[in-house]
Chain A
Amino acid sequence: MTQACITIKKMTMAYGDFIIQRDLDFKINQGDIFVIMGGSGCGKSTLMMHLIGMIVPSKGDIYYGKENLWGSNASNQRLLLNKTGVLFQSGALLSSMTLGENIALPIAEHTELNKKNIQEIVDYKLSLVGLAGFSDFYPSEISGGMQKRAGLARAMALDPEILFFDEPSAGLDPISSKLLDDLILSLRDNLNATIVMVTHELASIFAIGSNSVFLDPESKTMIAEGDPKKLLKTSQDERVIKFLSRSKKK
């Protein structure tokens, strides 16, 4: 069960000469709900962009299982990345297409299914996120929370082994945010997926996070890792405790 799913080795992220984070070294295990946390501007989203192969690390490596993401050729990299699904902060649905077309897009691209079968899968995915019947709506016709859920349906379209979430609960009311947490938990349990999420929503972090890494913008590196609940109890680092307990107390 504790097989490493993604391994990050001595990675440095930088824009040109400007270093964002250095010496990142951690593992994301199969079945984890892995939280990337830290204050605003510390490079959480940038780290996620690195993990999904959108940005090349300026130093160090990312391994998917035993394969180096940037050590192989483009088609092999594509195969590795096909195991992933990504939900962007805004949902990032293509605004010129209906929800159904959005979800059908990756399915049509990566499988040989016919139209009817694709539509069946689309309907099923939409019903998983509580949007059954919304197939013909355009993203602009539904609310922000619904867009996010539709984005999740699209991220799940190809039954990915690893799901990435960029601030899933940002901009959602507490109830929708709780529902999304529950959804993430049940996805992990029922699809046996690994979840990686960028968030600073404490409620979510403690409710569902099982492993984490804490990025610090001042020292530009990770200063803690592990189960966030245990971190709160055992961490000696003031910055981590301050973040996790929302207080200024030492």
Chain B
Amino acid sequence: MSFYGNWTTGSFSSGVEELLLRLDNHPKIKKLTFSTKKLDDWDSFFMAQLILIMDFAKRKKITIDTKSLPKGIQGLLELAYSVPEREGARKQKKKTSWIELIGNSLLSAKVELKNLVTFLGDLIQSSFSLIKGTGRFRFVDLMTYIQDCGPASLPIVSLISFLVGLILAFVGALQLSLFGAQMYLADLVGLGMTREMGALMVGIIMAGRTGASYAAQIGTMNVNSEIDALKTMGFNPMEFLVMPRMLALILVMPLLCLYADFMGMLGGAAVAIGLFDISSTEYWTRTELAVQLKDVLVGLFKASIFGILIAYSGCIRGMQCGRSASAVGDAATSAVVTGIIFIVISDSLITILFNQLGI
């Protein structure tokens, strides 16, 4: 077998495969020798083709004489064949049937559920030790988290809740004006924001903002063995890492919700006063009449529950995080998804419950 010219990456298609196919039809061939006198330039492309030929020869039990190859090529070949391929090392690509897929996802759902409940149990235990006064975390950490999820998130909360109030007012006004009842715009926005939208919007913002950041923080600590280090020093990561984060959210969420309620009403007022000729005094009087303390408290209650759920989903995803960079990303993503699912489900449940109770 003689090689001519340039055998470098991208130079041409080698034709080696066709050649091997043709060789396949000549079972009498017992030995292969190479001539590379006219070979000009070669790189990994040539080596890969050569290995293709060698493997073919091995399968067909054809003896190969590599002595005529240049020294460099011989050395590289020796290196390539020095450690035999480990059996079973190549990953088998197999098709999984859809029944198998369903089964697998059910099994992993079971594990996931168990993890969620175990984490909840640990969390409750840590809460007890916190109440008993034996739970330990650094006070300065709690302050940092409060600063981080409270004042630092005011701009985004302002923007979103103002606009949500504005949207509520717009949608409502169009319907109400059909009956000439624009006066009730204030009621709609006020009740909508306090009972529902304020808490929900703050919940979703904080799930995206703080929940993701908790998951990433704790996940990175996991990657760096920081959590292992904490454990070896006798700290319970649940008390030390999760508790201050959760407390911060429980404390801050109702305040943020109250603020969002106010911003939403401001947005509603902007529409009412600007577009529907309702005077500002009228708007505020209607709001005062419509919105009772009870409604505000319902919203604040929801916000606290959302706070717990956001911290829960952020922290559990962080603690479950694998030990790679992409695992941290996955943890953050899944923290947000879990958080939002929890928020929406619990919101529905609470709303139905309060409705039944007549609150």
Closest 8 CB pairs of A and B: A92-B229, A92-B225, A106-B233, A88-B225, A86-B232, A92-B226, A94-B226, A52-B232
Minimum C-beta distance from A14 to chain B (A): 18
Contacts A81-B232, A154-B233 aside, 13 further interface pairs with beta carbons under 8 A come to A49-B228, A54-B228, A54-B232, A86-B229, A86-B232, A92-B225, A92-B228, A94-B221, A95-B220, A95-B221, A105-B235, A106-B233, A154-B229
Q: Are B234 and A106 in contact (CB under 8 A)?
A: yes
Flag whether B224 is at the interface (Cβ < 8 A): yes
B228: chain A residues within 8 A (beta carbon): 49, 54, 86, 88, 92
Within 8 A of B (CB), among A108-144: 109-110
Interface string of A80-111 (1 = CB under 8 A from B): 01101110111011111000000001100110
Q: Are A94 and B232 in contact (CB under 8 A)?
A: no
Interface size on B, residues (CB 8 A): 15
Flag whether B230 is at the interface (Cβ < 8 A): yes
Number of residue pairs spanning A and B whose beta carbons lie under 8 angstroms apart? 49
**Could you tell me which A residues sit within 8 Å of B by CB distance?**
49, 52-54, 78, 81-82, 84-86, 88-90, 92-96, 105-106, 109-110, 151, 154
Flag whether B231 is at the interface (Cβ < 8 A): yes
A84: chain B residues within 8 A (beta carbon): 232
Flag whether B286 is at the interface (Cβ < 8 A): no
Q: Are A110 and B229 in contact (CB under 8 A)?
A: no
Flag whether B136 is at the interface (Cβ < 8 A): yes
Kindly state the separation between the CA atoms of A94 and B240 in the bound complex, as whole angstroms.
12
A85: chain B residues within 8 A (beta carbon): 232
Kindly state the separation between the CA atoms of A15 and B220 in the bound complex, as whole angstroms.
23
Within 8 A of A (CB), among B183-242: 220-221, 224-226, 228-235
Minimum C-beta distance from A8 to chain B (A): 18
A105: chain B residues within 8 A (beta carbon): 233, 235
B234: chain A residues within 8 A (beta carbon): 78, 81-82, 106, 109-110
CB within 8 Å for A90 and B221 given contacts A106-B233, A106-B234, A109-B136? no
> For residue A79, which residue of chain B has the nearest CB?
B234
B232: chain A residues within 8 A (beta carbon): 52-54, 81, 84-86
Interface centre among B141, B220, B225 (most CB of A within 10 A): B225
CB within 8 Å for A94 and B229 given contacts A82-B234, A106-B234? yes
Residue from A53, A89, A96, A109 within 8 A of B233 (CB atoms): A109
> For residue A158, which residue of chain B has the nearest CB?
B233
Kindly state the separation between the CA atoms of A88 and B226 in the bound complex, as whole angstroms.
9
Minimum C-beta distance from B28 to chain A (A): 39
Minimum C-beta distance from A197 to chain B (A): 15
Kindly state the separation between the CA atoms of A184 and B254 in the bound complex, as whole angstroms.
53
Minimum C-beta distance from A132 to chain B (A): 23
B224: chain A residues within 8 A (beta carbon): 90, 92, 95
Q: Are B233 and A90 in contact (CB under 8 A)?
A: no
Q: Can you report 26 residue pairs joining A to B where beta carbons are below 8 Å apart?
A: A49-B228, A53-B232, A54-B231, A78-B234, A81-B232, A81-B234, A84-B232, A86-B228, A86-B229, A88-B225, A89-B225, A90-B224, A90-B225, A92-B229, A93-B229, A94-B226, A94-B229, A95-B221, A95-B226, A96-B141, A106-B233, A106-B234, A109-B233, A110-B234, A151-B229, A154-B233
